[in-house]
Amino acid sequence: MSEPLSEPVVVVGTDGSRAAAAAVEWAAGDAARRGLPLRIVHAVDRMPYEIARYPIPIEDQLDRAGRRILEEAAQAVREIHPVVRVVPDLIEGDPSRTLRREAAGAAEIVVGNRGHGGFAGMLLGSVSMHLAGQVDVPVVVVRQGLRVPHGLVVAGVDGSAEAEAALTYASEEARLRGCRLLVLYAWQLPVHTFAPEITYDVDEVRRAQEDYVAEMLAAHRERYPDLDAEMRAVCAHPVPALVEAGEKADLLVVGSRGHGAVGSAVLGSVSRAVLHHAHCPVAVVRPPRRS
C-alpha cells in the first residue's frame, strides 16, 4: 500500500533488471535536483501464476522477491543520493494500472526501456506507451548503458499545445541541471498531390520557421532569464532530426497527443518513433487538461 505524501513525488517502476536500475538512478538524480521524495514501485502481478500448473501457493515467494528488489533499489539510491527521501512500495496488480494510479500524486513517472517480471517490455511493449498516452504527468523512459554527460537538454517543438508543455518541462530540466537547452523545430515543405507545380522559396520558409521558434523561445526566456538556450529550425523529418540531436543530449523531451481512454493509440507517430529509436532518456509530456 502506498504511503500517503503531502507533496509531489518522483515515481519510478522497478523489476530488478539492469534497465530498471538505470531508471532508478535517473529518477534519484532528478528527485535530488527537484528536492522531492522518490517513490520506488514494484508491482506484483499474480495473474500469470493463478492457473493449474502452479498448484502450490507462491504469494510469499513473489512478495519476498519484490521486497528484495525494492530494498536493493533503495540502497542504491541512498548510496548515490543520501539526501533523497526514499519510499519503497510493493503493490499488487497490473504494472500499467499500478503506475497509472501512482501518477495521481507524482511530479513525473520514470521507467526503464526493458525489463522482466512486473515491468516487462517497458519501451517496446505496451506499458510505456500506455503511460505516455494516458497519464497527465511527464513519463521518462530510460535506456540502460553507460551515458556520458553532454550538458544538453533537447526539446522538440512543433507549435502545438503539447510542444509548449514539452518546452516548459525541458526548460525546467535544463535550469535544474545547469546545462544548455536546444529548442529544435524540424519542418518539411508541404507536398501537394494535385498541384505538384507549386514551388516554395526554401530560404523564405526557413526564415519564417526560425522566426516562429524565436518567438516561442522568447516567452520562455522571460521565465528562465539565465537559461543558456539555443533555437534551431531544420528542414527535415522530425524523427531522425530529434534522434540525431538526442545522440549528444542528456535528455530529449517531446510532447504527447494522447487523450482519454484511447490515449496510447493516438500517442503520435513522432513521439512513438522517438521512444523506439532515441539512445538517451526521453520524456513524453502532455499539456495540462482543460477545465
* CATH code for the domain in which residue 253 is found: 3.40.50.12370
For 222, the domain range is 152-285
Is there a contact between 280 and 246 (Cβ–Cβ < 8 Å)? yes
Residue 235 confidence (pLDDT): 86
More confident residue, 204 or 258: 204
Residue 63 confidence (pLDDT): 82
Residue 125 confidence (pLDDT): 47
pLDDT above 80 for 250: yes
pTM (2 d.p.): 0.86
Dist. CA 252–CA 84, nearest whole Å: 24
Q: Domain check: are 16 and 83 in the same one?
A: yes
Residue 19 confidence (pLDDT): 86
Q: Domain check: are 130 and 185 in the same one?
A: no
More confident residue, 187 or 25: 25
Residue 126 confidence (pLDDT): 58
Is there a contact between 274 and 252 (Cβ–Cβ < 8 Å)? yes
pLDDT (mean) for 126-139: 78
Number of domains in the chain: 2
Q: Which residues of 52-72 are buried (b: 16+ CB within 10 A; e: fewer)?
A: eeeeeeeeeebeebbeebbee
In the 8-state DSSP scheme, what is residue 57? -
For residue 161 the three cell numbers come to 499545445
pLDDT (mean) for 237-244: 95
pLDDT (mean) for 69-83: 97
Residue 256 phi/psi, 5° resolution?
-115, 140
Residue 167 confidence (pLDDT): 94
Alpha-carbon distances of 54 from 51, 58, 92, rounded to whole Å: 6, 8, 18
More confident residue, 239 or 118: 239
Alpha helices in 8-94 (DSSP H): 18-34, 59-80
